[in-house]
């Protein structure tokens, strides 16, 4: 399939789902700008490239008295203002050769309406503008017939083409979407658009009548189309659907301008409820398949290779990082890079984990023949147990969710949370099976705050000749000299046997000077604190900090099991190492 360009937007395989949306017809300049700005922000939040759609004229109204728009000149002026102020490409219906020539100077996409889809002169004129062309498949056409329309446009040297499915007549007044049309039209090599808001129109009834449309089915039709495969979602929307001047009964109010009264706190709570329930629902599904996945990874003599596309890929990177930091060597492999040579890094001793919500991600299914040839076991995390990936995998972990918080059911939210939770469950289960301990964690996190908390005293203390020490009979002058020379603000008093007898600090010296008339006559044994606070070399550095804070001291003597001083630890050394930060 070709990737087409609409301004700076790329539409095609391996590109984000694009959104075409806006009022059916231009009702006013302010309404177009307000709606476009609101939809643009929503699309940006969802990571969807956005094209504004609003027709300058609706030439196919059932009544001559129905509102038809502002006309070519004023309508194009409004669309151009939206394009310049918001920086979005714009799209409108075009009805004849004359309009195509003029509209091509403003529009990024020229749309050929469904009822004119077989009009050769219009197709050729639109193609000659050099603009992207969106042809809406006529309600009366077999999808195969669209190949002829494409050929007309290609014949003029224009290959920036999209084809829209908007329903086929089922009887006189009803439309149905035959989802076979999507793969059929995609096989022609161009992006396919799904327009559910026109497919639910009930003809023969005024669009201002609530019975004139069934917008409640828009989400279901959209989900089905995304599962079948399409590159663009087409949604006609309006701030006040019931008051719209065109197709009022057919529009979804799921896309709303920001001035609508939406309680963000209630929304947040609802999102958290849905996601927490999605994670909780995983627990009953964890069983033999999960245990088998753990066994495969434990038996792996190589690495765990994780792959996924889009949001699933981002989740995969997180899972790979968690596994690696908890003792399981893991690496993320982008499936697109894999099919272009990076698959060579997968070896027969590895285990592969595939992540795909639908279980039918083309870029991943293309890897399976090679993975099977290499002979690596494959674990798949998916929400579709009947998918192609699930059927071909050695182990399948069910991470399906009942619903997504996203009102359009487009942005994966609860599903990504559930997948990450399942990845965490794998990592912790493996951690326990490997008897991965805090020392192992500190070894793998030498620079992080988590690792610093697990550092041992022996890794930060000063030992050997750096330990300040004097014998019990040392004079005051010798004590002061040793404290000054070693710069710890103290000195150990050590018996001939090497055992710690006591500690003298700067504070002890000051108190001695204040309390004795002739301090120079005193010896170390008479000045020292005979019961100083000590700590063992295998203790945590964080524990040493806690002792210093509790007793309001600056130094700790590090002693072995026989009370021999083996090191000194100063508060500043702990703080400099980031302990407690």
Helix, strand or coil, per DSSP, at residue 213: strand
Last residue within a domain, chosen from 262, 293, 309: 262
DSSP state of 574: H
Residue 505 sits in the same domain as residue 404: no
Residue 447 placed within a domain: no
Q: Which stretch of DSSP H or E encloses residue 418? A: helix 414-433
Phi, psi dihedral angles at 395 (to 5 degrees): -140, 135
Residue 92 lies in a domain: yes
Instruction: Return the number of other C-beta atoms located less than 10 Å from residue 25's C-beta.
Output: 25
Asked if residues 109 and 89 have their Cβ atoms less than 8 Å apart, the reply is: yes
* Shared-domain flag, residues 431 and 464: no
CATH number, domain at 157? Answer: 3.20.20.70
Residue 272 lies in a domain: no
Domain coverage including residue 545: 457-576
**Any residues with CB less than 8 A from the CB of 123 and at least 6 apart, and which?**
112, 133, 135, 149, 152, 153
CATH of the domain at 378: 3.40.50.10490
Is 445 domain-assigned? Answer: no
Q: What CATH number has the domain bearing residue 485?
A: 3.10.580.10
Residue 511: CB partners within 8 Å, gap ≥ 6? Answer: none
CB 306 within 8 A of CB 318: no
Question: Quick one: 422 and 469 in the same domain?
Answer: no
Domain count, the chain: 3
| Domain end marker among 262, 293, 312 | 262
Residues 205 and 124 in one domain: yes
| 297 lies in the same domain as 244 | no
d(CA 11, CA 232): 8
- The answer to whether residue 382 sits within a structural domain is yes
Does a structural domain hold residue 571?
yes
Looking at the structure, do residues 214 and 302 belong to the same domain, yes or no? Answer: no
Residues 389 and 485 in one domain: no
Residues 84 and 202 in one domain: yes
Contact between 217 and 231 (Cβ < 8 Å): no
Which of the listed residues 229, 262, 295 is the one where a domain comes to its end?
Answer: 262
> Do 522 and 561 reside in the same domain of the chain?
yes
451 domain-assigned: no
- For every one of its 581 residues, what pLDDT tens digit does the chain have, with 9 covering 90 and above? 999 999 999 999 989 999 999 998 998 898 899 899 999 999 998 999 999 999 998 877 666 666 778 899 999 999 999 999 999 999 999 999 999 999 999 999 999 999 999 999 999 999 999 999 999 999 999 999 999 999 999 999 999 999 999 998 887 778 899 999 999 999 999 999 999 988 888 776 765 565 667 888 888 999 999 999 999 999 988 877 666 676 655 555 434 444 456 788 888 999 999 999 999 999 999 999 999 999 999 999 999 999 999 899 999 999 999 998 888 889 999 999 988 888 888 999 999 999 999 898 888 999 999 999 999 999 999 999 989 899 999 999 999 998 888 765 557 899 999 999 999 999 999 989 887 766 666 555 555 555 666 788 999 999 999 999 999 999 999 999 999 999 899 999 999 999 999 999 999 999 999 999 898 899 999 999 999 999 999 998 889 999 999 999 999 999 999 999 999 999 988 888 888 66
Contact present, 230 and 224 (Cβ < 8 Å) = no
254 inside domain: yes
534 and 387 inside one domain: no
Pair 491, 548 in one domain: yes
Is the same domain home to 236 and 370? Answer: no
């Amino acid at each position: 399939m070709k990737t087409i360009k609409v301004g700076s937007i790329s539409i095609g395989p391996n590109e984000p789902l694009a959104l075409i949306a806006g009022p059916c017809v231009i009702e006013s300049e302010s309404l177009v700008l307000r709606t476009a700005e609101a939809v643009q922000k929503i699309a940006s939040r969802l990571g969807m490239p956005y094209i504004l759609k609003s027709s300058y004229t609706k030439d196919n109204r059932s009544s001559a008295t129905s509102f038809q728009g502002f006309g070519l000149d004023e309508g194009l002026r409004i669309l151009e203002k939206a394009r310049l102020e918001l920086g979005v490409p714009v799209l409108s219906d075009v009805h004849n050769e004359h309009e195509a020539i003029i509209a091509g100077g403003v529009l990024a996409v020229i749309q050929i309406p469904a009822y004119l889809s077989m009009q050769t002169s219009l197709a050729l004129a639109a193609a000659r503008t050099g603009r992207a062309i969106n042809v809406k498949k006529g309600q009366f056409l077999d999808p195969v017939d669209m190949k002829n329309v494409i050929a007309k446009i290609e014949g003029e040297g224009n290959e920036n083409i999209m084809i829209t499915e908007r329903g086929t007549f089922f009887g006189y007044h009803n439309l149905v979407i035959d989802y076979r049309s999507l793969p059929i039209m995609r096989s022609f090599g161009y992006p396919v658009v799904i327009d559910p808001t026109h497919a639910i129109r009930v003809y023969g009834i005024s669009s201002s009548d609530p019975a004139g449309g069934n917008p409640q089915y828009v989400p279901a039709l959209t989900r089905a189309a995304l599962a079948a495969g399409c590159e663009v979602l087409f949604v006609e929307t309006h701030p006040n659907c019931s008051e719209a001047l065109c197709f009022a009964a057919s529009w979804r109010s799921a896309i709303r301008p920001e001035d609508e009264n939406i309680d963000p706190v209630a929304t947040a709570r609802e999102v958290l409820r849905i996601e927490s329930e999605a994670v909780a629902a995983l627990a009953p599904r964890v069983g033999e398949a999960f245990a088998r996945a753990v066994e495969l990874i434990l038996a792996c003599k190589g690495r765990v290779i994780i792959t996924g596309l889009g949001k699933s890929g981002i989740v995969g990177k997180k899972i790979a990082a968690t596994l690696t930091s908890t003792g399981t060597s893991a690496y993320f492999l982008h499936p697109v890079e894999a099919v272009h040579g990076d698959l060579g890094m997968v070896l027969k001793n590895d285990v592969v984990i595939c992540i795909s919500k639908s279980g039918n991600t083309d870029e991943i299914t293309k890897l399976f023949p090679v993975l099977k040839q290499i002979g690596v076991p494959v674990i798949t995390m998916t929400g579709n147990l009947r998918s192609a990936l699930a059927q071909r995998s050695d182990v399948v972990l069910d991470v399906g969710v009942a619903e997504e918080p996203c009102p359009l059911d487009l942005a994966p939210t609860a599903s990504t949370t559930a997948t990450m939770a399942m990845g965490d469950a794998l990592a912790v289960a493996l951690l326990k099976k490997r008897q991965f301990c805090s020392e192992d964690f500190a070894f793998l996190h030498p620079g992080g705050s988590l690792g610093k908390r697990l550092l041992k005293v022996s890794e930060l203390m000063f030992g050997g000749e750096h330990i300040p020490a004097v014998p019990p009979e040392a004079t005051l002058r010798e004590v002061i000299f040793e404290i000054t020379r070693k710069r710890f603000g103290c000195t150990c008093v050590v018996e001939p046997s090497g055992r710690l007898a006591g500690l003298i600090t700067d504070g002890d010296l000051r108190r001695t000077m204040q309390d004795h008339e002739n301090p120079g006559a005193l010896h170390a044994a008479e000045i020292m604190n005979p019961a100083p606070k000590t700590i063992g070399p295998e203790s945590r550095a964080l524990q040493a900090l806690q002792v210093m804070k509790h007793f309001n001291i600056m130094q700790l003597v590090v002693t072995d099991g026989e009370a021999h001083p083996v090191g000194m630890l100063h508060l500043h050394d702990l703080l400099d190492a980031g302990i407690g930060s």
